[in-house]
């Protein structure tokens, strides 16, 4: 869901004077998208012990 919503940041790729957010760079999209998705995956990923069972927290 956040990965979908953050696609809005592609608008920053445009480079003209129509909107102040037209910066002409993909860096904010890469930063916001990858950091958010990585944090969600890190939070939701389930650690397992060697025998395949869920590791105790």
Q: Are 33 and 6 in contact (CB under 8 A)?
A: yes
Q: Does 29 bind another protein (CB under 8 A)?
A: yes
Task: State the virtual CA torsion across 15, 16, 18, 21 in degrees, nearest 10.
Answer: 30
Q: Does 20 bind another protein (CB under 8 A)?
A: no
Q: Does 1 bind another protein (CB under 8 A)?
A: yes
Name the minimum Å distance from CB 51 to another protein.
12
Interface size with another protein, residues (CB under 8 A): 37
Q: Does 48 bind another protein (CB under 8 A)?
A: yes
């Amino acid at each position: 869901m956040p990965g979908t919503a953050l696609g809005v940041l592609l608008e920053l790729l445009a480079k003209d004077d129509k909107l102040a957010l037209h910066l002409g760079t993909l860096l904010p999209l890469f930063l916001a998208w990858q950091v958010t998705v990585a944090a969600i995956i890190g939070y939701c990923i389930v650690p397992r012990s060697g025998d395949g069972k869920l590791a105790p927290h």
